[in-house]
């Protein structure tokens, strides 16, 4: 469910996962977001979520509704 919030925001901003990876400073060959998308990362780190939130220009609170 958390990934669906990220995906919704990516669509809203017309941004690809690759672009998010670069904007979040994860490096162009980093597969972390793809691992997250496909369920290999169940509980992302606080640091990763901060990078994603900053790159998408949203508050961390935006993701709270996706965490249960």
Q: What is the pLDDT of residue 32?
A: 94
Sign of CA dihedral 16, 17, 19, 23: positive
- Provide the residue range defining the domain that includes 29: 2-64
pLDDT in tens, the chain (68 residues): 799 999 999 999 999 999 999 999 998 888 999 999 999 998 999 999 999 999 999 999 998 875 55
CATH classification at residue 32: 1.10.260.40
The whole-model pTM stands at: 0.89
Distance (Å) of CA 33 to CA 8, 38, 50, 67: 14, 9, 13, 17
The total domain count for the chain is: 1
């Amino acid at each position: 469910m958390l990934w669906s919030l990220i995906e919704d925001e990516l669509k809203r901003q017309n941004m690809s996962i690759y672009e998010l990876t670069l904007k979040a400073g994860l490096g162009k060959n980093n597969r972390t977001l793809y691992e997250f998308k496909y369920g290999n990362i169940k509980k992302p780190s606080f640091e990763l979520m901060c990078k994603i939130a900053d790159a998408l220009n949203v508050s961390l609170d935006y993701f709270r509704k996706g965490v249960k």
